[in-house]
Amino acid sequence: MIVILGGCAQQGQLSPTEMIDRTGISGRVTDRFDRGVADAWVYAYRNTSSSLRGPADFGVRTESNGDYFLDLVEGPYYLIARWRQGGGEAGPPRAGDAWAMQEKNPVQVEAGQVSQADFRLQGVQAGQPVLLRSGSLSQGKTGFTGRLVDLNGEPLPGAFALAYSDLDFRRMPDYTSAVVSSDGRFQLYLPGGARYCLAARTRTRGQPVAGEPYGLLDVGGDSCLATVENRLIDVGNIQLSPYQR
């Protein structure tokens, strides 16, 4: 059940004077043009047991300029921001909505201090989930980057890059990227010093279905690469084509 912080929803970002004796998280939610987004919701989860889906532990609506303030006790919190074009404070993301996961997750709150956490929203593609698989990394310096493209070499928004510890692509991936936007570029953050096999598709679970855009990394006939600590390796394009059984 979400605890709606009605009084704090009107406070937004606090001035240094107002932050005295406050404990919580303050920040701003913006769109891709850095404009403040009104009536977005910032949700805080105490842990990732729900994979950051469903009702949050705390939630607050942004002001007209995109500012928000979450009044919280000390501890770590996992944050997500969502804006729903139909309004409302709950419900699954739909095409036309926007969302963002906080790159600093978990955000640590100390007693008597206000932590800072800003968000830049990205669009939700039709029919696509927007959250990382539980256990995936939302930030880092190690892993792979590249572009997901179709048969014509055009960016494929709404797709994901997936990492497996072996060549069994039929199972759930070990790590997933966030859904890619209109430029098709992905960042897939991974632990260092390990070898991963990369695939890309427009869904993150279940067996691929006929016609679903699907592709594997092809580096000299190999789909697997080793990560290098503190290096984000550019693998170039991963081309997706209609899946055939």
Domain ranges of the chain: 3-123, 143-242
- Cα–Cα distance, 158 to 68 (Å, whole number): 28
Place 31 in a pLDDT band, splitting at 50, 70 and 90. Answer: confident
The reported pLDDT for the residue numbered 140 is 74
**Of 3.40.50.12500, 3.40.630.10, 2.60.40.1120, 3.30.410.40, which CATH number belongs to 3-123?**
2.60.40.1120
Residue 8: exposure state from Cβ atoms within 10 A (0-12, 13-18, ≥19): buried
Q: Is 1 helix (H, G, I), strand (E, B) or coil?
A: coil
Place 11 in a pLDDT band, splitting at 50, 70 and 90. Answer: very low
CATH 2.60.40.1120 for domain 143-242: yes
- Cα–Cα distance, 70 to 58 (Å, whole number): 8
**For 39-82, how does the pLDDT look when each residue is reduced to its tens digit (9 = 90+)?**
999 999 988 666 566 788 999 999 999 999 999 999 999 888 98
Long-range contact pairs involving 102-105 (C-beta distance under 8 Å, separation at least 24): 102/78, 102/138, 103/138, 103/139, 104/139, 105/78, 105/79, 105/138, 105/139
**For 162-180, how does the pLDDT look when each residue is reduced to its tens digit (9 = 90+)?**
999 999 988 888 888 877 7
Q: Is 9 helix (H, G, I), strand (E, B) or coil?
A: helix
Q: Is 10 helix (H, G, I), strand (E, B) or coil?
A: helix
* Same fold across 3-123 and 143-242: yes
Name the residue with higher pLDDT: 150 or 97.
Answer: 150
**For 218-232, how does the pLDDT look when each residue is reduced to its tens digit (9 = 90+)?**
988 889 999 999 999
Please work out, in degrees rounded to the nearest 5, the angle formed at the alpha carbon of residue 156 by the alpha carbons of 52 and 94. Answer: 40
The reported pLDDT for the residue numbered 128 is 42
**For 15-27, how does the pLDDT look when each residue is reduced to its tens digit (9 = 90+)?**
544 555 689 999 9
**For 177-190, how does the pLDDT look when each residue is reduced to its tens digit (9 = 90+)?**
877 777 888 989 88
> Which distant-in-sequence residues (6+ apart) come within 8 Å of 20 by Cβ?
none
**For 110-161, how does the pLDDT look when each residue is reduced to its tens digit (9 = 90+)?**
999 999 999 988 765 444 444 455 455 556 789 999 999 999 999 987 788 9
φ and ψ of 116, to 5 deg: -105, 135
Residue 13 tokens read as 């970002």
